[in-house]
Amino acid sequence: MESLRCANCGQIIAYSDAVCLDVLNSITHKKCYDLRFALKDTGTFQDIVNKYSFFKELRE
């Protein structure tokens, strides 16, 4: 399984973590998000991975 790190803190993101997806398609923990770029979506990492095709390699 592939893993992804938070764009801000660098920690590995778990599928159950609350995350933000910005307009640059960067994933950040919700608690780490700092309003540098406009938000595209929010939810659990699992929800985001299943919703967007460009994350297909990260699907469980």
pLDDT of 2: 65
- The number of domains in the chain is 1
Give the position of tokens 């801000």. 8
| Residues paired with residue 26 on neighbouring β-strands, in sequence order | none
pLDDT of 52: 95
Using 70 as the pLDDT threshold, list the residues of the chain that sit under it.
1-2
Cα–Cα distance measured from residue 49 to residue 4, given in angstroms and rounded to the nearest whole number = 11
Range of the domain at 26: 1-60
pLDDT of 39: 93
